[in-house]
Amino acid sequence: ETGVTQSPTHLIKTRGQQVTLRCSSQSGHNTVSWYQQALGQGPQFIFQYYREEENGRGNFPPRFSGLQFPNYSSELNVNALELDDSALYLCASGSPDGPYKDNSPLHFGNGTRLTVT
């Protein structure tokens, strides 16, 4: 089975710019979640998509938005970048049974390292 792949692996942007990060979910998974991991911290939940609709969101402002496509690949978009947005962004895919099987472990990609200058 294919794993979760993210692109790009590294990215440098300037404050105020916009960025799009991409993720291909693990085969057979139709739930995708995005996390922000600041240096030395645990991942923080941004939002989750199930079958192309957002169905859960963490404490992040609206300038963090996402999309999930029919093939279950996903994008994370961040507008008006701020210095504090510098972090590792992780994508994770979940159980094919949907988002409420809360005992389903997530399968993580290796992340995109975003640096905002």
Partner 1 sequence: GDSVTQMEGPVTLSEEAFLTINCTYTATGYPSLFWYVQYPGEGLQLLLKATKADDKGSNKGFEATYRKETTSFHLEKGSVQVSDSAVYFCALSELGDMRFGAGTRLTVKP
Binding residues (CB under 8 A) for partner 1: these are: 4, 31, 33, 35, 40-45, 48, 50, 55-56, 58, 90, 92, 94, 99-111
Nearer to partner 1, 57 or 63 (CB): 57
In the complex, least distance from residue 41 CB atom to partner 1, rounded to whole angstroms: 6
Residue 72 gets the label, from left (phi > 0), alpha (psi -120 to 50) or beta, of left
Q: Which residue matches tokens 């200058």?
A: 117
In the complex, least distance from residue 94 CB atom to partner 1, rounded to whole angstroms: 7
